[in-house]
Amino acid sequence: MNVPANDQCPICYTPLSNEALQRQPNGKLSGQGGQRVTYCATGHGFHAGCAAMCLGLSNTACPMCRQPHRDGLDIDVANLLLEPHATQVENPASATDDQRRQAAAILGELAGSKEDGDLYVDALQNRVAITDVFPIYGGPPAVQVDLMKLMRALLKNHRANQDALHAAGGIAELFTRAMRLPLPPPSDPDGIALMRESLRALSHAVHDHKPNVEALQAAQGGIPMSVALLNALLAMPAPPMAPGEVGELLRHLCYFSSTHSAIEAA
């Protein structure tokens, strides 16, 4: 049967009408997929995921008609890609913890798929609170990495989520995840990824947030966590993230902190 062009996505050549065909049993999208979204003033329809891919190109004009994409497309695409997972994470009454954890992991995968300042962070922060995610943290290692990516995205420049993490005692928890010493071996990529994402989450948690910096100064095992973190970062032959990111974490950590005296003493 010939599918009219309007009913077929011009990027992946599969029907726009049936999102169920795009979903694997775990709820993840196969290929780009997703719900239908109108890309341009001409009215060309794309899957949301396929439109997101086009928005990531240097030329974001409609590949069908060369018209610019319509206003608000990026926000619509982000919101469409978050569903139905965001709704599931938000509603403890309608889904089990395990279902919510799986949905949150998919959101984390979306949040982690692009660099900071990306398409998803604002949409995610508008939909999901860190208090939705923190209580269901757990599961297999790969799932924990995706959940940590989601927490990292929720903490980025977001005061309410930084406050909520503080109230939940989350700083000690992030510190415990981040401080895997000795470093996980290369044969444990999930271990390294979890350490990296936890350090990134910690960096966002303490950025411009004095209570979280102070929480990190509390002692654990006889030494302030901030000092243990500093010692570990300085001692690592190969920290699990870029030198610029390590520098940023140290800068956030020292901003309100007595840790600078530990640096002077070192």
CB 24 to Zn ion: min, Å: 15
Return the range that interacts with Zn ion (CB under 5 A); candidates 7-15, 106-114, 178-186, 213-221.
Answer: 7-15
Cα separations in angstroms, 182 against 150, 176, 226, 232, 263: 25, 13, 17, 9, 22
CB 6 to Zn ion: min, Å: 11
CA distance 129 to 38: 29
Find the binder of Zn ion among 52, 62, 174, 249 (CB under 5 A).
Answer: 62
CB 50 to Zn ion: min, Å: 3
What's the gap between Cα 88 and its chain centre? 17
Decide if 89 contacts 126 (C-beta within 8 A).
Answer: no
H or E segment to which residue 79 belongs: helix 73-82
**Residue 40 makes contact with Zn ion by CB under 5 A:** yes
Kindly give, in sequence order, each residue whose CB lies less than 8 Å from that of residue 87, ignoring residues fewer than 6 positions away: none
Of the CA atoms within 13 Å of residue 195, those in its CB half-sphere come to 22
CB 156 to Zn ion: min, Å: 29
**Residue 42 makes contact with Zn ion by CB under 5 A:** yes
Q: Considering beta carbons, is residue 68 or 138 the nearer one to Zn ion?
A: 68
CA distance 151 to 177: 13
Q: Considering beta carbons, is residue 64 or 246 the nearer one to Zn ion?
A: 64
Decide if 9 contacts 50 (C-beta within 8 A).
Answer: yes
Q: Considering beta carbons, is residue 19 or 173 the nearer one to Zn ion?
A: 19
**Residue 47 makes contact with Zn ion by CB under 5 A:** yes
**Residue 73 makes contact with Zn ion by CB under 5 A:** no
| Torsion sign (Cα): 162, 168, 170, 171 | positive
Q: How many residues line the site for Zn ion (CB under 5 A)?
A: 12
**Residue 52 makes contact with Zn ion by CB under 5 A:** no
Return the range that interacts with Zn ion (CB under 5 A); candidates 10-18, 19-27, 116-124, 201-209.
Answer: 10-18
| Torsion sign (Cα): 60, 65, 71, 76 | negative
Return the range that interacts with Zn ion (CB under 5 A); candidates 47-55, 92-100, 204-212, 249-257.
Answer: 47-55
Return the range that interacts with Zn ion (CB under 5 A); candidates 57-65, 80-88, 110-118, 119-127.
Answer: 57-65
**Residue 3 makes contact with Zn ion by CB under 5 A:** no
Counting Cβ atoms within 10 Å, is residue 38 exposed (0-12), middle (13-18) or buried (19+)?
middle
**Residue 69 makes contact with Zn ion by CB under 5 A:** no
- Report the interface residues with Zn ion, using CB under 5 A: 9, 11-12, 32, 40, 42, 44, 47, 50, 62, 64-65
